[in-house]
Amino acid sequence: MSQEQATYLPLCERRDMARIGFFGKGRMYEAYIRTDDECQVPHFHIRNIYTETDTPILLQSNHYCLHSHKDCKVLSDTELQQLACFMAEPCRSPRFENNYQYATELWNLNNEKSCLANGDIPDYAYTTIFDKYIR
């Protein structure tokens, strides 16, 4: 699936997501927030637009956020470095200093049961597996 195809996913697949942006070689990774996510721990998702594998990662720390209903794809060191650079990049919206602040705001706007204050960007280049499932 190309980035253009990912942009034009059927409405049923797009309606529950707020896109942060694309990154990586060929912009093949899409970062997004699930709206009204059943998991109330602040996190975002990374999706490879070609394989459609899904990787949930905590917003507050550099840990994977394991969902009980899906296996978590662990990103390679290169992918994690690309993610870290993407989150630190200036945001496309001038209201936010970087993509991390934008992601935090998207979480807060779309998951009102648990809000997150803006803070320092976790070092996503060294993301590790969280020691328990978050449901």
Domain map of the chain by residue range? 3-129
Report the predicted TM-score, pTM, of the whole model to 2 decimal places. Answer: 0.82
Give the rounded percent of residues in the chain with a pLDDT score beyond 90: 54
pLDDT value of residue 15:
62
**Does the pLDDT value for residue 125 go beyond 90?**
yes
Cα dihedral 2, 20, 25, 39, rounded to 10, equals -90
- Beta-carbon neighbour count of residue 134 at 10 Å? 16
pLDDT value of residue 74:
87
- Region 34-56: what's the mean pLDDT? 86
Residue 40: Cβ-neighbour burial (10 angstroms; 0-12, 13-18, 19+) = exposed
